[in-house]
Amino acid sequence: MKITFISDTHGKHRELKIPQTDLLIHAGDFSKTGTIPQIQDFMQWLSTLDIEHKVIIAGNHDFLAEREPNLFRPLIPRDCIYLEDSGVTIEGIHIWGSPITPWFFDWAFNRQQGEEIRQYWDKIPDNTDILITHGPPQSILDRTARGALAGCQDLLETVKKVQPKIHVFGHIHEAAGQEIQDDILFINASMLNLSYDLIHQPIELNWEDFS
């Protein structure tokens, strides 16, 4: 199975060149400010993609998903799976997704680190193969332009315990890339840079290389 990862497209989805793939995963921030027109445009574009499996989570910019889920969820294409602290199994691959990120100026899905955020990470099943979170774990592809490590320590501890084969996220645009630690492939799939220019390509892999 071919899998393609993207994240942090912030309304520039129509500029992307999505390769032929079996599974597309978007790790959140598909809109700029989470308005209905922005969400509608993304979902309409998503519905036109001839891809068998599509899995998305929201990000801290996607306000509609948190504040008005009754308006957000009907916009999701019928052939797309939206995960919000929930999971799905696709062709034997166990996937879990969460939009939660550490508190930062009261954006969408922000939670305080410690006890509050751990209740979300504690939901991640031990059999997770691909973990999708909007934000990174601490010290892995999370360094900001100012040199700070913006990832979540509580998430890192959970990932070490669960040991997914792949952990994909975005959020910190300037830290985009891939890194292997403890036999886990970590992917920061941000498409845009710090200036919100589209400079990265979707990340492609074959699941057979991990199974």
Task: Give the pLDDT score at 106.
Answer: 86
Report yes or no: 209 and 2 within 8 Å, Cβ to Cβ.
no
Residue 25 pLDDT: 99
Residue range 44-85, pLDDT digits in tens: 999 999 999 999 999 999 999 999 999 999 999 999 999 999
* In contact, 24 and 16? CB cutoff 8 Å: no
Across the range 188-203, mean pLDDT stands at 97
pLDDT in tens, 106-115: 899 999 999 9
The pLDDT score that the predictor gives to residue 105 is: 85
Give residue for tokens 């592809």. 141
Q: How much helix, strand and coil, in percent to the nearest 5, is found in the chain?
A: 25, 30, 45
Among 94, 113, 93, smallest CA distance to 102 is for 113
CA nearest to 138, candidates 148, 123, 124? 148
Give the chain's domains with CATH numbers. Answer: 2-209 (3.60.21.10)
> Residue range 133-137: average pLDDT?
98
> Over 90: is that where the pLDDT of 194 sits?
yes
CA 9 distance to own-chain centroid:
11
Q: How many CA atoms lie within 13 A of 165 on its CB side?
A: 13
What's the residue count for the chain?
Answer: 211
Residue pair 31/107 in contact (Cβ under 8 Å)? The answer is no
Question: Residue 129 and residue 111: Cα distance in Å, rounded?
Answer: 25
- Residue 210: strand, helix, or coil: coil
Which single residue is written with the structure tokens 């979707």? 202
What local confidence, expressed as pLDDT, does residue 26 receive? 99
